Chain A
Amino acid sequence: GQNIDQPTEMTATEGAIVQINCTYQTSGFNGLFWYQQHAGEAPTFLSYNVLDGLEEKGRFSSFLSRSKGYSYLLLKELQMKDSASYLCAFMDSNYQLIWGAGTKLIIKP
């Protein structure tokens, strides 16, 4: 079967670093996506990993370990505007995205 799991909610402090983990199980895999969704808005694409390792993009980095079925999104130098839900999703063998429930990130001053 297929499943994907991420924490429901996390809290972090402005200026700090936070890591949001995502674990998944699937027989067919075509990559792992991270999206950001602010309240009341549609998701926006953040990152994509298909090979093992770390992809860095400014303050955001995403890591993938295919053998462990594990990914994380790392956010550095947190800003208040980073308060949002972060959705991880893997693409299965049919190129369909299977979504996690999202992690609500709360940033405190």
Chain B
Amino acid sequence: GAVVSQHPSRVICKSGTSVKIECRSLDFQATTMFWYRQFPKQSLMLMATSNEGSKATYEQGVEKDKFLINHASLTLSTLTVTSAHPEDSSFYICSARGFREPYEQYFGPGTRLTVT
């Protein structure tokens, strides 16, 4: 089956610093990847859709200058949280769209970010 990795799994950073999270599709090429955020006991919230070789499409209310997304290759997308604040502490999950029907999304294991 399709495998998606995510790194790091946990990160603690200080307020004002930047953190980069990597999402890789290990055994397939993903033209489309998604970035989600999930606060405790809440549902997944789609932040942005990342298409290889083009600019990401951000959901309403998500600051594109704060959450920088780069999808430079068919197997790698990165999310950089810039000038992190404690309220950015959350569980960040990436997913990659499957390469054939039904085009389900394969999720990475997630990254727990804590901003102190």
State the A residues within 8 Å of B (CB): 30-31, 33, 40-45, 48, 50, 87, 91, 95-97, 99-102
Contact = CB atoms under 8 A, between A and B. Distances in A.
Given A42-B108, A91-B103, 10 more contacts: A30-B102, A33-B102, A40-B112, A42-B107, A48-B104, A50-B102, A87-B44, A96-B49, A99-B46, A101-B42
Interface in B95-116: 95, 97, 102-110, 112
B103 A95 contact: yes
Given A43-B44, A87-B43, A99-B44, A48 B102 contact: yes
A31 B105 CA distance: 13
Interface residues on B, range: 20 to 34
A41 B104 contact: no
A49 to B, nearest CB: 9
Interface of B: 34, 42-44, 46, 49, 91, 93, 95, 97, 102-110, 112
Contact of B43 (A42, A48, A102): A102
Given A95-B97, A95-B103, A100 B109 contact: no
B109 A41 contact: yes
B43 A43 contact: no
